[in-house]
Structures are given as structure tokens and as C-alpha cells.
Amino acid sequence: MREVTKTFVLTRFDPDQDEAPRTQEYKVPVREDWKVLDAINFIKDEIDPSVSHRWSCRMAVCGSCGMMVNGEPKLTCKTALSDYGDRVEIEPLANFPIVRDLVVELEGFMDKFKSVKPWIVRAKQKAAEEGTYRQSTEELSAFKQFSMCINCMLCYSACPVVANEPEFIGPAAIALGHRYNMDSRDEGASERNQRFREEGTVFSCSYANECSEVCPKDVDPAAAVNQAKFNAVIDWAKGLVMPKGGS
């Protein structure tokens, strides 16, 4: 298979030595069927073992290999090198603190993620002998698209609101919260809607749609955010008409 040489410009940052991120160039003989991740792995394995980056499944499932490729958030295991010219710039995902080189800090995202309770909430669980909670095909289809999120965080890197308002809960967390609000087995929608009405949540979204543009799984988080806005308002209005504990 034919090989060509491309220049890769990687962000380098060692918090023990560097005051700020810098760049380093590597010339790599790449094969025409390579993905961007293949080139980064080649650099790590064959040229410079000090390079730090995240990856795992190589099948666009785990979401761990997200990086900026020529300024755009991409899953590097899914992004073909043939789409790029002789010079490729690879940076850590935007809008996240850098831990080292191409690795970013995830804790802030995970805190936002957990705040929307992305699991089925029920006031009382069935006894085992009562069986499972059944769901129709139609009920599944109502939220299935939003359940495809792999937490790759590309949407956070693309989102202009996240860039300017770090407290914004973000598209992936809202999409996952909305997914459970739409689940016929769940009883936690009022809790999530209350969270969605707080500062830095659904109403901070400016609907730039960048999150849906970069989503590798076609989750369409922008649609989830806007549906969540509507449902949160309806939930609030119902609370005025039928307050809890009222008749």
C-alpha cells in the first residue's frame, strides 16, 4: 500500500516543566487507509514515547480519542487522514483544561453529567417477582436517538456557550437528562426539569447548532436542548396550575 509523508503538529504540555502549551512537529510516513489516531499512535510508538493521548476502542464507541484536528473537534479513530493535506495540526479538545499534551481534564464534565441524574428514577422499585418494566417500540423510539451519546465531549469543544460560560451544563448532559425524561419507565422528570431551569442550563443555549454538527453519533443534542427547554417550561406551568400537595 502506498505511503506518503505528512507533517503532524502536536500540542505538547508538561505541567511540571511548561508554563504554557507549545507545539512540536513530527514527520510521519502514513498509509492511505490510516485514520488520524493511527498517526498519533505511530508517533507515540515509533518516534516519541513521551507523547500523551487517550484512546481505547478504535471503533467510535468509547469516545475517548476526541481531539481538535485542524481546529475542528473530531473522533480521531473515525477521521480519515486522506481528508487532510500534508500538514495536520492536532490539539487537545477546546474548552477543557489540559492535563498533559492531548489529554484534557474530565472531572468538570462528569459533575455536570451526574447533576442531571442520567439514570432511571423511580419512587418505588418493583419486587423481582413482578418482572421488568415493559416498553413498546414506540416508547423506545421517543428517546432512542438521544441515548446514542458516547460522552466524547466533541459537542462541548464546539459549543460557543461553553467557551464563554464555563458554568453552562452543556449539550451532552442536557441530551442525556432529556433522554431519561422521555423514558416511559422514569419518574424523575420533575427533578431534572428543575435542574434544567437553573442558571447555566437549557436557557443558556443560543442554538448555534454546532454541537449537532460535530456529533459523531447523530444524537442531535441541539434538538434535545430545545425540547428540554419546552418541557421544562410546561413542567413549570403545570406546577402553577397544579401545585404539589394541592387538590
Over the chain (247 residues), what is each successive 10-residue block's mean pLDDT? Answer: 89 96 97 97 98 96 97 98 97 97 93 95 88 93 96 96 94 97 96 95 94 97 96 89 62
Q: Please tell me the predicted confidence (pLDDT) of residue 244.
A: 64
Pick the CATH number of 107-241 from 3.40.50.300, 3.20.20.70, 1.10.1060.10, 3.30.1340.10: 1.10.1060.10
Residue 25 CB neighbour total at 10 angstroms: 10
Q: Write down the domain spans for the chain.
A: 3-104, 107-241
Cα–Cα distance between 173 and 209 in angstroms, integer? Answer: 15
β-pairing, 3-12 with 87-91? parallel
Q: Is the pTM of this model over 0.85?
A: yes
Q: Please tell me the predicted confidence (pLDDT) of residue 127.
A: 86
3-state secondary structure of 5: strand
β-pairing, 22-31 with 87-91? unpaired
Q: And the C-alpha cell for 116? A: 442531571
Amino acid identity of 217?
K
Q: Please tell me the predicted confidence (pLDDT) of residue 97.
A: 96
Pick the CATH number of 3-104 from 1.10.540.10, 3.10.20.30, 2.160.10.10, 3.40.50.970: 3.10.20.30
Instruction: Tell me whether residue 117 is exposed, middle or buried, using C-beta atoms within 10 angstroms of its C-beta: 0 to 12, 13 to 18, 19 or more.
Output: middle
Nearest one of 181, 179, 233, 180 to 202, comparing CA atoms: 233
Query: From residue 22, how far is each of 12, 54, 105, 139 by CA, in Å?
Result: 5, 19, 18, 50
Cα–Cα distance between 242 and 246 in angstroms, integer? Answer: 7
Amino acid identity of 126?
K
Q: Which letter does DSSP use for residue 81 in this model?
A: G
Query: From residue 220, how far is each of 149, 196, 244 by CA, in Å?
Result: 9, 18, 33
Q: Please tell me the predicted confidence (pLDDT) of residue 125.
A: 85
Residue 86 CB neighbour total at 10 angstroms: 9
